[in-house]
Structure 1
Amino acid sequence: MKRARRLAAEQAHSCGPTSRYRGSTATVSLSDMTQARLPAHLEVGGIIRAVQAEGGFATVMAKGERDAGTLMVICCENGTNLRAYERMPQADGTRAWSLSREQDIENPQEFIDFCEKRRQQDSDLWIVELDIANAERFIGMLHRTT
């Protein structure tokens, strides 16, 4: 009985700095963590839920690669005034949202053709439509008034 108590009282192996049982020596710096990319399916799901929580409509028009796919967001209000945003590489290595195409009122088919062409060019592309006032706020952009 004494032996059982003594074993139970022994400390478990530790991976702490003074332990002889070291854990992984791999470390990740904070700057690496800030550059890590959120998997595409999680980002899409988060955007859709945020739009729906605000009373808007959001849908996936085309699914891309689950983890490393690129994302194109189509912003509109009541199905009109379509604007396509994509993340584009910047000179400093980051990726920022930029306006790729705006719907031409006189030729709306041109915008649809653009989206289909982008999808054919990049099979990893997710296309998400956000139908809510000032939809750009969901991707961190301010709505441009022209």
Structure 2
Amino acid sequence: MPADPSDARLTSAMLVGVLMRRCAAAGGFATVLVKGDAVSGVILLQALENGREQGLFERVPDYAGGYRLTRCGPDPEKGAEAMAQYLARRRGSDPDLWVVELDIADAERFAAETIC
């Protein structure tokens, strides 16, 4: 019996690829800092605007059957060391995690429009 197409979902690798291409087309910069599980790895975005840290956002399921971005990690004001420690802890507990740096205007909104 063929699979129901309504059950189909994009893999994490596909979502990251789309995000990176769309960001480049819009004049921004995106790079994979940590490559996670290609099929179902959690996607964590390190958002920047003109090189200035805006925070971390995680793609999480919502209660309506879709996805949303939620802020996570330390406040950007705490500095690079706090961010590095948080990412190391997350990678230690979830080796399938993707970490993508996204440098574009209003990165949170941009990413939400693309992968949620």
Pick the TM interval, shorter chain.
0.7 to 0.9
Aligned to 2:48, the other structure's residue is in SS state strand
Q: CA deviation at 1:95?
A: 3.5
Separation in 1, partners of 2:95, 2:34 = 9
Coordinate RMSD, CA, aligned: 2.1
**2:57 is equivalent to residue 85 of structure 1:** yes
CA gap of 1:48–1:70, structure 2 versus 1, over 3 A, is same
Letter in 1 for 2:88: E
**2:103 is equivalent to residue 131 of structure 1:** yes
**Contact preservation (8 Å) 1:48, 1:59:** yes
Aligned to 1:87, the other structure's residue is in SS state strand
Where structure 1 has 5 or more consecutive residues not aligned to the other structure, the ranges are: 1-25, 142-146
Q: CA deviation at 1:43?
A: 0.8
Residue 12 of structure 1: aligned partner: none
Alignment of 1:1-146 (within 5 A): 26-29=1-4, 31-32=6-7, 36-92=8-64, 94-140=66-112
Identity among equivalent pairs (%): 36
Q: CA deviation at 1:71?
A: 0.7
Separation in 1, partners of 2:94, 2:66 = 20
Structure richer in strand, relative to its length: 2
Q: Deviations over 1:69-111 (max 9, x none)?
A: 1111111112223311112243455442211135332443212
Q: TM-score, normalised by structure 2?
A: 0.81
**Contact preservation (8 Å) 1:82, 1:102:** no
Q: Which protein has the larger Cα radius of gyration, Structure 1 or Structure 2? A: 1
Letter in 1 for 2:38: R
Count of equivalent residues = 113
Q: CA deviation at 1:31?
A: 4.2
CA gap of 1:93–1:51, structure 2 versus 1, over 3 A, is closer
Q: CA deviation at 1:137?
A: 2.7
